[in-house]
Amino acid sequence: MITDNVLTGVIQNPILRGFNPDPCIVRAKGLYYIAVSSFEWLPGVRVYQSGNLAEWEHATDILTHQVDLRGNPKNCSIWAPQLSYHDGLFYLIYTDVKSTKRPFKDCHNYLITAPDITGPWSEPVYLNSSGFDPSLYHDEDGRKWLLNEIWDYRMTESNKSSGIVIQEYDPQLGRLTGKPVKLFDCTPLMKTEAPHIYKRGGYYYLITAEGGTGSGHAVTVARSRDLLGPYEVDPLNPMLTSSGRPELPLQCAGHGSLVETPDGEWYMAHLCTRPVNGEYAILGRETALQQVRWDEAGWLRLTAGGNAPLLAVPAPQGAKPAAAVQPCVFEDDFSGPALKKHWNTLRISADERWCTLRARPGKLRIYAGESMQSLFRHHIVAVRQTDISFRAETELEHEPECYLQMAGLALYLNEDNYLYAYTTHEEGSGKVLRLMGCRSNEFTAEPVIIPVTAGQPLRLAVEVHGTNAQFLYRVSGAGEWQPLGASYHIGFLSGGFTGNFVGIAAHDMQQFLGSYADFSYFRYQGLEE
């Protein structure tokens, strides 16, 4: 999916729409790259690239086989990757979070490297588990330092992020050396995380996120003449935030990282949300860019003044004109040798055992997995919702033999929040079309039951307009699209750390891999708002 996000000379935010949080931006080999968190969705750590900071396209996904996410709770798994480039190598630091059950956090930090953004990537080197959001700083003297948030379970319930620690990393030994040093305590905003260090004008600048990832999110800047501190906080802190201004179109601004253009201009990539109807972050946390500058005192400022995130910012000098924002279009007719790279799967990678294009050429066969609420083998293939309004449709062939077998089209935030239109088998009725939902962990089997003819392909669609979703169905090649039940308010597909996905799936609670569904195509079309 290519995002055309710029009018002439203007970057339009967000630059990465839909679930694309915790951006880390870097310039390498003549291009700009942004890596974002992927949480429980695989492949992990999505990377976008741009030649001008204005137009971005999906370049690659890095974690393809290095992680085992089965059983990880929702909102855990791959957090806040940090991408850097030094001495001809890309370095990726990431966290695999296994549990966030209070008062503890089980989070393991790893390092992998590659000569090119598309790999091949090395096997993971384990670093530590003391806190999340790790980053690697390459100092001018050749030494490398790992930073991460430090978690202290003894602290009060409202704030257990006690600041930032730093420890030297020895690339020859492939491990941390020495003792960790407490680099920075929290400001009154608290919940300090997402550390990045940049050196400029004799100062080490520490960029952190504070205030939590919700409405109080912010970017805090501190600096020191010495890498190990002490660090003084920007007197106008926070440098960027939407806090206390619900009228702003970009909310939850924070978690920033910096990049310098070849012409000496500076930009900050940061997290944000666009609440639908001012309330529901259905698209999840997105990525925006702000142009920044260094003031006379050497502090980082938005070039537009103030500290509020803007929808439109100046593009770099000399950037070529680009088209205005267009709704996203994605289609896979399953005629290729592999799934298109935009697809995602949940906690497990797509492989021939359950997701194949070979069993029936021109079709995607999904062998049925565990239930819609499984944390282990949920066989769903999905794409991000990137537009406030969209239509998605598919065609499937599925011949269930009992009520425990199902396949269809889903809106899916997580195992506690989803809507699912599916074919199944009901005693006395045969093959039927039904709708189920789960809202804040409260399951509902909707009463609408539509008999459908066995042996015939069935088309399913969903149209979303803001907070309203309507499922539809149609017998392939005959008749008009018909509504499946009433429309639904989907504000519940909001919250947590991810965003809404739309996907196709197959489930069988009678026999694992015992049944399957064949899908002929999938199409996602963003609609004008």
CB-based contact 391:462 (threshold 8 Å):
yes
Q: Which of 55, 149, 193, 210 is catalytic?
A: 193
- CA separation for the pair 481, 475 (Å, rounded): 8
- CA separation for the pair 418, 421 (Å, rounded): 10
Mode of pairing for the β-strands spanning 218-224 and 203-210: antiparallel
- Chain-centre distance for alpha carbon 38: 4
- Amino acid identity of 31? L
In the chain, the N- to C-terminal Cα span, in Å, equals 19
Q: Which of 493, 468, 352, 467 is nearest to 412 (CA)?
A: 493
Three-state SS string over 364-391 comes to EEEECECCCCCCCCCCEEEEECCCCEEE
Q: Which of 22, 61, 210, 387 is catalytic?
A: 22
Mode of pairing for the β-strands spanning 193-200 and 175-184: unpaired
Active site residue 260: no
CB-based contact 246:214 (threshold 8 Å):
no
Mode of pairing for the β-strands spanning 482-483 and 468-475: antiparallel
- Chain-centre distance for alpha carbon 132: 16
Neighbours of 276 (CB within 10 A): 21
- At residue 25's C-alpha, the angle toward residues 21 and 27, to 5°, is 160
Q: Positive or negative, the Cα torsion across 518, 523, 524, 529?
A: negative
- CA separation for the pair 439, 457 (Å, rounded): 30
- CA separation for the pair 52, 103 (Å, rounded): 44
CB-based contact 482:497 (threshold 8 Å):
no
Active site residue 22: yes
Neighbours of 238 (CB within 10 A): 22
Residues annotated as catalytic are 22, 193
